[in-house]
Amino acid sequence: MPETYTSPATATGTWTEEEIRQQPACWIRSLNNIDKIRGTIDDFLSPLLRKKDLRIILTGAGTSAFIGDIVAPWLSRHTGLNISAVPTTDLVTNPMDYLSAAHPLLLVSFARSGNSPESVAAVELANQFVPECYHLPITCNEAGSLYQNALDSDNAFALLMPAETHDRGFAMTSSITTMMASCLAVFAPDSINSQTFRDVANRCQAILTSLGDFRDGVFGHQAWKRVVYLGSGGLQGAARESALKVLELTAGQLAAFYDSPTGFRHGPKSLVDNETLVVVFVSSHSYTRQYDLDLLNELRRDGQAMRVVAIAAESDTVIEAGPHILLPPSRAFIDMELAFCFLIYAQVFALTQSISVGNTPDTPSANGTVNRVVQGVVIHPWLA
């Protein structure tokens, strides 16, 4: 099929929009599949999770790496497991800093295509560095090297996402969120499963419905030159991914940044001017939320930004004092669940901005300097 197409279900006629809209259905489809193969997953994981000194590294490149940034803080706290996030782009350049022979390792590799050089090399380096090494690739491409290599390995279990999450558009949308949901369901099935996650899917579907054909935008139609996303904890990972979506889909014509609300004061706040949009992802945790609201109030009081928008699940006088978006009604969500809602808004915003600057969202890099599957990476052999 062609790179882009026209569908009556979409306003922009792009794969990118189609893939944004399909996410709630993809999540439930993937989690239903995990239910069906739960026994096989447990046969692989249970012996590993009983190892007291097991390290679990969540890895990937670019957007796939940000999955770890988003889910690792909550997963490690919720499960009590030693879970951390390290990008493959760091593992391949500095394996000696992240891989240790002293502890068994489970490397969870996220990948849309499974063909990026770093994804394959990270697995090989982990096997080289760690005598007791296991792999759980979570990927969207059955034909990808990451998935196929795992099938032939006796120390790996490969988890495949629904075929439609192998996004055809340049930017990862349904691929990242489906891999996120699936990882959570694998390691925390008591909290994230096909039943509990329907609330997240339904709320996100309500968000998509509320945005109509996307033509009205998300945060307004001002001529932004810069956008800043802010979030605390795992929501900082969501902020990072949100900023990358803007950079990718506008091919850098709209500069995008991210930080935590507290970290933003320590220098990065200097970039705010009267052409800047600031978006604050407000935490649902009563303690963390205080810091988010403090900065939200400060930014509005400063009066430097063109627009400061809060996105939150619950209202507050500070939130209501300026531009804000309240999520559609639902049960109380933890931040891990809110991340999916916030990412929907960020994806739609990036799509509309791509069109605003005259880009083709499915192929935004007209000069080909940035590619859907990264190119130009030379993997150098490790010599002990």
User: Which residues make beta-bridge pairs with 309?
Assistant: 279
> 256's torsion region: left (phi>0), alpha (psi -120 to 50) or beta?
beta
Query: How far is residue 61 from each of residues 2, 85, 86, 163, 197, measured CA to CA in Å?
Result: 26, 11, 9, 20, 26
Quote the pLDDT of residue 5: 27
Q: Do domains 15-196 and 201-356 have the same CATH topology?
A: yes
Using alpha carbons, select from 181, 183, 176, 169 the residue that is nearest to residue 373.
169
Quote the pLDDT of residue 321: 97
Quote the pLDDT of residue 366: 64
The architecture that CATH gives domain 15-196 is: 3-Layer(aba) Sandwich (3.40)
Domain locations along the chain? 15-196, 201-356
Structure tokens at 239: 């902020």
Query: How far is residue 363 from each of residues 166, 170, 348, 359, measured CA to CA in Å?
Result: 15, 6, 16, 8
Instruction: Walk along the chain (384 residues) in steps of 10 and give the mean pLDDT of each run.
Output: 35 88 98 98 97 96 96 98 97 96 97 91 96 98 95 95 96 97 98 97 97 87 92 98 96 96 97 97 98 98 97 97 97 98 97 92 72 69 80
Q: Distance between alpha carbon 64 and the CA centroid of its chain, in Å? A: 7
Quote the pLDDT of residue 373: 61
User: Which residues make beta-bridge pairs with 55?
Assistant: 105
Quote the pLDDT of residue 4: 32
> In degrees rounded to 5, what are phi and psi of residue 325?
-125, 125
CA 156, CA 179: separation in Å to the nearest integer?
17
Q: Distance between alpha carbon 9 and the CA centroid of its chain, in Å? A: 25
Fold of 201-356: Rossmann fold (3.40.50)
- Give the contacts of 39 (CB within 8 A, at least 6 positions apart): none
The answer to whether 109 and 60 are in contact (CB under 8 A) is yes
Q: Distance between alpha carbon 325 and the CA centroid of its chain, in Å? A: 20
Quote the pLDDT of residue 370: 56
Query: How far is residue 7 from each of residues 110, 113, 333, measured CA to CA in Å?
Result: 29, 24, 33
Quote the pLDDT of residue 217: 81
CA 244, CA 249: separation in Å to the nearest integer?
9
Place of tokens 């997953």: 41
User: Which residues make beta-bridge pairs with 160?
Assistant: 139
